[in-house]
Structure 1
Amino acid sequence: MSMTAAAHDAVVPAPATPHLRAVPPLPEPARETTALWWARLLRRGPGPLEYSLVAVNSDRFPDGTPVDMTAVDARGRRPAGWQVDVRHRATDGRVVRIEVAEELSDRCPPMWFAEVTHATGAVPAASLLAFRGSAFRPGAVVRPHEVAAAGVRMTDRIAEVRWWIRSGLVDTVTVEPVYRGRGVARTLVTAAEGLRFLRGWAPLRSDGRLTDAGAAWLESAPAAWQPRLAARSEVLPDADVEEELTGVARLLR
């Protein structure tokens, strides 16, 4: 037998097999949905009894469905897809704090809030103002007299959303220029949506009259907001002086 034939008949060793570890398949990305339902959770602890009203963006329940989950001990957890958590006392309904999901507020500086109702106008309106500083803990919700008692002026706010209670139509969303582009408006409006549901008011919405900044925000708004944000139908000028307001609805001036 020739050397060539012998080499041909020789057993060729099989290539080395890498050591592979079995792992579960990658989870499919969550299906985007515009549904926003509301979970009521009981917060057990050493202090006074408190509840959380949590807005959840998922298709687990139909849009707008209130779900009582107080029979289950949440142990501080919230349903997957939660957007905003309005924590309030059981005795008098006083809001203790508002938390917005990190995915919406990751670039936003720590803020606390002041809730204001406007009873002097012909149409009932409300505002939620955002402040920075150490006067109150981040997420705290206080009243105007508490703001004044802490030595803070209402004009010191860094952002404000004002809306009509009965219709939910947003009149203004104001953000100080230095804080724009950091998710402040998105965080504030999300907090206001949680607050309005607790109060039993109409869902927040826009009517299509937008400034350039408002239109830009609309393009990147969370999915749950899309059904209530009308396409831009009228261009409004940006206005940074209060006296320049014309009374028409403005979004993100």
Structure 2
Amino acid sequence: MSMTAAATHAAIPAPATPRLRAVPPLPVPAAETTALWWARLLRRGPGPLEYSLVAVNSDRFPDGTPVDMTAVDARGRRPAGWQVDVRHRAADGRVVRIDVAEEIADRCPPMWFAEVHHASSPVPCTSLLAFRGTAFRPGALVGLHEVAAAGVAPTDRIAEVRWWTRSGLVDTVTVEPVYRRRGVARTLVTAAEGLRFLRGWAPLRSDGRLTDAGADWLEQAHPAWRLRLAERSEVLPDADAEEELTGVARLLR
């Protein structure tokens, strides 16, 4: 090797040794659980005293267990695995807002809700309607009189879940076609489950009479809800094809 080649070879810097930083191993994914327990949290702030009733999907407590956590300042946080948060005033129990976890409502557009009690029904029956628009803030829960006062018609709703309050049996879940396959039904039913627990009503469930869309919805339901949804036992036509059918569980995604 000539001196010129040797000098050129010596000028080439050696490859830099990469700096590696030690990091802890990735956590093992938590096993799926069907347990759904309820936490009662105190929400401190400058306004009226408020509480949150939060459904939590974890094995920390047995399924269905109500847990009073008001002695601990939650500082706006919720337990890991939370599904729905129904925030309400301590003075009169009025619901301030309903929040659904992002993992459930990630594709769902912002919605506000209206609670309707069907006085004409021979058996106590309630609907939770979902609306879009700026009449109320996302997550707000209002009554029909407030909907009317805001200039919104009940028929403007984009989705509805209707159920019998004594048994928890879902009669219908309907979503306007343009909003289907965006997680609207999943978000709405989750909100309704939080509301029914606050009201002291039976857990929502289905009886196995499903449309094709309902069966598809059932297959993809969260493990915490799936046990309450009976396997398909009767095939029903979609609501769009048979508008006259009533009193059946039409689950539309």
Same fold (TM over 0.5): yes
Q: Distance between the aligned counterparts of 1:184 and 1:18, measured in 2? A: 48
Q: Which residue of 1 aligns with 2:11?
A: none
Q: Which residue of 2 aligns with 1:160?
A: 160
| Structure 1 alignment gaps of length 5 or more | 1-15
CA positional deviation for 1:94:
0.4
Cα pair 1:161 1:174 within 8 Å, conserved: yes
How do residues 1-253 of structure 1 correspond to structure 2 at under 5 angstroms? Answer: 19-240=19-240, 243-252=243-252
1:143-185, Cα deviation, whole Å (9 max, x unpaired): 0000000000000000000000011000000100000000000
The share of aligned pairs that are identical, in percent, is 88
CA positional deviation for 1:19:
4.3
Aligned residues: 239
1:211-235, Cα deviation, whole Å (9 max, x unpaired): 0111111111011011101111110
Q: Distance between the aligned counterparts of 1:43 and 1:124, measured in 2? A: 32
Cα pair 1:88 1:97 within 8 Å, conserved: yes
1:244 aligns to what SS in structure 2?
Answer: coil
CA positional deviation for 1:18:
5.7
Q: Which residue of 1 aligns with 2:10?
A: none
Q: Distance between the aligned counterparts of 2:119 and 2:29, measured in 1? A: 46
Q: Distance between the aligned counterparts of 1:19 and 1:155, measured in 2? A: 62
Query: Cα RMSD (Å) of the superposition?
Result: 1.6
Q: Which consecutive aligned stretches of 4+ in structure 1 deviate over 4 angstroms post-superposition?
A: 16-19
1:105-137, Cα deviation, whole Å (9 max, x unpaired): 010000000001112211101000000000000
Amino acid of the structure 1 residue aligned with 2:157: R
TM-score by length of 1: 0.91
1:49-90, Cα deviation, whole Å (9 max, x unpaired): 000000000000000000000000000000000000000000
Q: Distance between the aligned counterparts of 1:252 and 1:202, measured in 2? A: 22
2:250 aligns to what SS in structure 1?
Answer: coil
Amino acid of the structure 2 residue aligned with 1:95: V
Amino acid of the structure 1 residue aligned with 2:107: R
Cα pair 2:174 2:250 within 8 Å, conserved: no
Amino acid of the structure 2 residue aligned with 1:38: W
Amino acid of the structure 2 residue aligned with 1:247: G
Q: Distance between the aligned counterparts of 2:31 and 2:72, measured in 1? A: 26
CA positional deviation for 1:240:
2.8
Amino acid of the structure 2 residue aligned with 1:33: T
Amino acid of the structure 1 residue aligned with 2:182: R
Amino acid of the structure 2 residue aligned with 1:130: A
Cα pair 1:43 1:51 within 8 Å, conserved: yes
Q: Distance between the aligned counterparts of 2:72 and 2:101, measured in 1? A: 21
| Structure 2 alignment gaps of length 5 or more | 1-15
CA positional deviation for 1:243:
4.8
